[in-house]
């Protein structure tokens, strides 16, 4: 999850589709001493097995239901959700169709260009893109503040991203509640975020991840539930480009004016 790299970050395109974005927080949290490094081998082995499973196939697809909290006027948090249908073909194809509490949006990457499309109003942002998914995710974030909360699942080396800066990781036990299967439950933290993860005991696929950012004074929770996993071979090139783009109204590939990242959020870094 945002991360579940080290941090869950923004997903927004422009003023019209800004509802993708996670809420902003202006207050500063009190400083907390960083924990000593304590990494349980069993927890790391589970993350490594998940990473190997995700990268061991050329193509994959899944559904991600993301729920994030935002403080209400009364104080207790409200929950907002999005549903993303994700298709990936490594190393240079990605499609994400998102709906939920906000406008439905579509993101495509075909190895050469990135497209962000809002079908209801026929709005399209298009830009040249780097040759890999990782580099394109970084470019999309830096250029248009676009971020997907399941980024750590679709990068080239999930374990490398997840373990970067990790200070504590431990095994909690097994669960039979999440994802209609048996999962191994682990938790890990770095200087930015605390994550609890449910990973399939048999298939090694992520089923749920929940994160709390350590410098968020509200301690709001960000959760991604994964389902409908399919590990497949190559998909058609047309699958990774929006249809009817010739008639779309073009908009700038940029974030809404004045958009800033929330507490604890940092730009993704593409790995060589």
As a whole number of angstroms, the distance between CA 37 and CA 178 comes to 29
CATH 2.50.20 fits 2-37+57-165+222-250, yes or no: yes
In degrees, to the nearest 5, what angle opens at C-alpha 195 toward C-alphas 50 and 141? Answer: 85
Best CA proximity match to 13, nearest among 141, 135, 132:
141
Q: Counting every residue, how long is the chain?
A: 272
Task: Write down the pLDDT at residue 232.
Answer: 84
CB atoms within 10 A of CB 59: 16
How far apart CA 233 and CA 123 sit, in angstroms, is 31
pLDDT at residue number 254: 83
Per-residue pLDDT of the chain (272 residues; tens, 9 = 90+): 433 233 333 333 332 223 333 333 333 444 455 567 899 999 999 999 999 999 999 899 999 999 999 999 999 999 999 999 999 999 999 999 999 987 899 999 999 999 999 999 999 999 999 999 999 999 999 999 898 999 999 999 999 999 999 999 999 999 999 999 999 999 999 999 999 999 999 999 999 999 999 999 999 999 999 999 999 867 888 899 998 888 999 999 887 665 544 444 444 544 43
Beta-strand pair 59-71/77-89: antiparallel
Token pair listed for 177: 């509640």
Q: Which two tokens stand for residue 92?
A: 């240079």
The sign of the torsion formed by the CA atoms of 237, 241, 242, 247 equals negative
For residues 52, 55, 60, 66, the Cα torsion angle rounded to the nearest 10 degrees is 70
pLDDT at 17: 28
Find the DSSP H helices in the chain: 41-55, 133-144, 151-154, 158-163
Separation CA 266–CA 247 (nearest Å): 36
């Amino acid at each position: 999850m945002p991360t579940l790299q080290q941090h869950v970050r923004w997903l927004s395109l422009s003023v019209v589709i800004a509802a993708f974005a996670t809420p902003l927080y202006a207050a500063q949290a009190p400083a907390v001493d960083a924990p000593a490094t304590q990494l349980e081998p069993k927890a790391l082995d589970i993350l490594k097995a998940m990473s190997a499973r995700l990268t061991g196939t050329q193509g994959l697809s899944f559904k991600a239901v993301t729920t994030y909290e935002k403080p209400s006027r009364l104080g207790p948090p409200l929950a907002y959700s999005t549903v993303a249908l994700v298709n990936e073909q490594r190393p240079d194809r990605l499609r994400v169709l998102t709906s939920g509490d906000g406008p439905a949006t579509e993101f495509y990457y075909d190895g050469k260009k990135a497209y962000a499309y809002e079908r209801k109003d026929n709005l399209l942002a298009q830009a040249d893109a780097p040759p890999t998914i990782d580099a394109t995710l970084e470019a999309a974030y830096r250029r248009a503040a676009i971020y997907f909360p399941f980024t750590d699942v679709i990068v080239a080396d999930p374990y490398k991203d997840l373990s970067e800066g990790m200070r504590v990781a431990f095994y909690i036990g097994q669960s039979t509640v999440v994802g209609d299967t048996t999962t191994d439950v682990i938790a890990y933290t770095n200087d930015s975020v605390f994550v609890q993860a449910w990973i399939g005991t048999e298939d090694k696929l992520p089923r749920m991840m929940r994160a709390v950012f350590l410098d968020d004074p509200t301690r709001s929770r960000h959760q991604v539930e994964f389902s409908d996993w399919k590990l497949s071979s190559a998909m058609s090139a047309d699958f990774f480009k929006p249809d009817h783009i010739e008639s779309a109204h073009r908009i700038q590939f940029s974030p809404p004016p004045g958009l800033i990242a929330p507490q604890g959020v940092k730009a993704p870094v593409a790995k060589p």
